[in-house]
Structure formats: C-alpha cells, structure tokens
C-alpha cells in the first residue's frame, strides 16, 4: 500500500519553464512511495509523470476526455472521465495532498481551490500567491511539506 496519493497540477504547455521542478517533484514523490496523480497530458503533468515513472513510481492520469488519446507516455494508468473540466474535482478528491507547480492558469487555480475546499493540504511551487496557500521554494521543500 503506497504512503500517499499526491496530485501534481500545473500547465499543459510542452514548453513549460517549470519542467525541471515538475520532474524533480515526480521523482521525489515516487522515491517516497507515493502514487502520483495528474491530469495526464503534457507540460507540468508530463514532466511530473516522467520523473515518477523513471524512479519506478506509479502515475495515474485522470483525463478530462472520454478516450486516452493524447495522454502522456509515462502514465501507469490513464483514466478517461468524459467530465471535461469537472475532472479537476475528481483529481482533487482522489488526492490526499496537492502540489501546484507554476502556471497562473485557471485550471490550476480550480484544482487548488477544490483541494483546499476538501481540506487537502496544497503546496504551491512558483504558482498563484493566495491567502492560505502554503508555498515552497524548491521541489524538495514542496514534497517534504505535503508528506509532513
């Protein structure tokens, strides 16, 4: 049984400037025995998936579409939901904690808000500055905080 289920949220831009941070977070979570949850596509999600997969971890992509097309290659499991943006609620509910990396995008903000509303700990790494959102200065610190 894994220690924790931790979601990693962030932009889907393949050229994300947060790629290295997401790779490191994914790797560190896998090394700690966590299951990594994400939206399953590119950018931060793919980098976190890659980091976790290369460290031997389990990665679950909770996809907004009703098929697996376009899901990143590092997922252990890809779960199509057909829910569109409502899949953010599934992701936040399935996670015991969330690390939000980069992106001041609305999707990331909704995942942060849903997770906090559910009482899940959320740690931001180079992301939204919000009252009540804990922030970390490095991938190591972000992972330490969510594993608390």
Mean pLDDT (10-residue bins), the chain, 148 residues: 88 92 98 97 97 98 97 98 96 98 88 96 93 94 95
Strand order in the sheet with 5-10: 77-80, 58-63, 35-38, 5-10, 97-101, 122-125, 134-135
Q: Is 118 helix (H, G, I), strand (E, B) or coil?
A: coil
Q: Quote the pLDDT of residue 1.
A: 54
- From the number of C-beta atoms within 10 Å of its C-beta (0-12, 13-18, 19+), residue 71 rates as buried
Contact 46, 59 (CB under 8 A): no
Quote the pTM value: 0.96
In the chain, what are the domain boundaries? 5-147
Contact 92, 86 (CB under 8 A): no
Cα(5)–Cα(17) distance, rounded to whole angstroms? Answer: 25
Q: Quote the pLDDT of residue 14.
A: 87
Q: Which fold has domain 5-147?
A: Rossmann fold (3.40.50)
Q: Quote the pLDDT of residue 113.
A: 96
Cα(27)–Cα(53) distance, rounded to whole angstroms? Answer: 8
Q: Quote the pLDDT of residue 2.
A: 62
């Amino acid at each position: 049984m894994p220690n924790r289920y931790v979601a990693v949220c962030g932009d889907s831009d393949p050229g994300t400037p947060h790629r290295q941070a997401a790779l490191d977070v994914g790797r560190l979570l896998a090394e700690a025995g966590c299951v990594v949850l994400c939206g399953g596509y590119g950018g931060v999600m793919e980098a976190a998936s890659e980091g976790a997969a290369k460290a031997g971890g389990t990665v679950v992509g909770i996809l907004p579409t009703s098929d697996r097309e376009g899901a990143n290659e590092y997922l252990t499991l890809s779960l199509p939901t057909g829910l569109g943006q409502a899949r953010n609620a599934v992701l936040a509910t399935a996670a015991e904690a969330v690390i939000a990396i980069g992106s001041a995008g609305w999707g990331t903000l909704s995942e942060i808000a849903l997770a906090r509303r559910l009482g899940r700990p959320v740690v931001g790494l180079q992301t939204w500055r919000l009252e009540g959102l804990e922030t970390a200065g490095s991938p190591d610190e972000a992972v330490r905080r969510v594993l608390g």
